[in-house]
C-alpha cells in the first residue's frame, strides 16, 4: 500500500494533464521504454539483495515479507525504497495518461530496483493496477471518456484468465515467467507503435 500512494498520485496527475499532452507522441515514447523494460527483465538484477545491507526504510515500513514456493515459504528483504517509490510515481502518471503499460514499470521497479522476487513483483503489480486505475477512472468517467457497458465483456474475459494465472503462478518456473513477461512487453510496444503511426491514435 505504501507504493500504491505513489501510483495513485501519479494516476491522478496523468488523468488531469491527459488533454494537455500529445498522446500519440507519448505512446511512441512509452513503447520504446517498454522495449527497454523487456530487455532489462532478462538481465541480472540491478540491485542484488545478497550484496546489500537491509534497507532501514523498508524495515521501518514493514515491507520485508515472504512468499510461498513448492519448497515452502521464502523470505525476502526490500531495498532502495525511495528509488522504487519514484518509479512508481512515473508509472502512475503513465497509467493515468494512457491506461496501459504501467504494469511493466511497476514489475521492473520492484524486481530490478527494490530486489523483490519476480513472482511477488507481478502479483503485487496486479493488485496495484486495480487501485491505480480506479484513481484515474473517476476523472475519465466524469469527462465522458468511459463506456461502462463496453467494460463488461472485457471483464468477463479477464476474470477467468486472472484466476487461472494465479493458480499456475506458484508452480511456474520464474525464468519462463520472465520470458513471457518480456514477450508481452514487446508485443505491447509494437502494437502501440503501430497504432500511433498507422492506426491514427
How buried is 106 (Cβ within 10 angstroms: 0-12 exposed, 13-18 middle, 19+ buried)?
Answer: buried
Distances (CA, A) of 110 to 20, 51, 122, 142: 30, 17, 9, 32
Distance CA 100, CA 113 (A): 21
- pLDDT at position 15, please? 73
Give the chain's domain count.
1
The parent domain of residue 64 ranges over 2-199
pLDDT (mean) for 36-54? 64
60-81, pLDDT tens digit by residue? 888 888 887 777 788 888 888 8
CA pair distance 68, 1, nearest whole angstrom: 20
Quick: pLDDT tens for 145-180: 667 777 677 777 777 877 787 777 777 788 888 888
Amino acid at each position: 500500500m505504501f507504493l500504491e500512494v505513489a501510483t495513485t498520485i501519479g494516476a491522478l496527475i496523468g488523468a488531469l494533464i491527459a488533454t494537455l499532452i500529445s498522446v500519440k507522441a507519448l505512446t511512441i515514447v512509452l513503447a520504446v521504454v517498454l522495449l527497454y523494460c523487456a530487455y532489462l527483465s532478462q538481465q541480472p538484477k540491478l540491485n542484488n539483495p545478497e550484496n546489500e545491507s537491509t534497507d532501514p526504510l523498508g524495515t521501518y515500513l514493514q515491507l520485508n515479507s515472504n512468499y510461498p514456493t513448492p519448497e515452502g515459504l521464502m523470505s525476502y528483504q526490500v531495498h532502495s525504497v525511495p528509488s522504487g517509490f519514484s518509479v512508481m510515481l512515473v508509472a502512475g502518471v503513465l497509467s493515468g495518461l494512457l491506461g496501459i503499460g504501467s504494469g511493466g514499470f511497476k514489475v521492473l521497479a520492484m524486481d530490478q530496483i527494490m530486489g523483490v522476487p519476480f513472482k511477488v513483483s507481478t502479483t503485487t503489480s496486479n493488485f496495484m493496477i486495480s487501485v491505480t486505475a480506479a484513481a484515474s477512472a473517476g476523472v475519465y468517467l466524469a469527462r465522458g471518456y468511459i463506456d461502462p457497458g463496453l467494460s463488461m465483456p472485457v471483464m468477463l474475459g479477464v476474470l477467468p484468465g486472472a484466476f487461472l494465472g494465479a493458480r499456475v503462478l506458484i508452480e511456474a518456473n520464474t525464468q519462463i515467467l520472465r520470458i513471457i513477461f518480456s514477450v508481452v512487453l514487446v508485443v505491447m510496444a509494437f502494437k502501440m507503435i503501430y497504432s500511433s503511426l498507422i492506426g491514427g491514435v
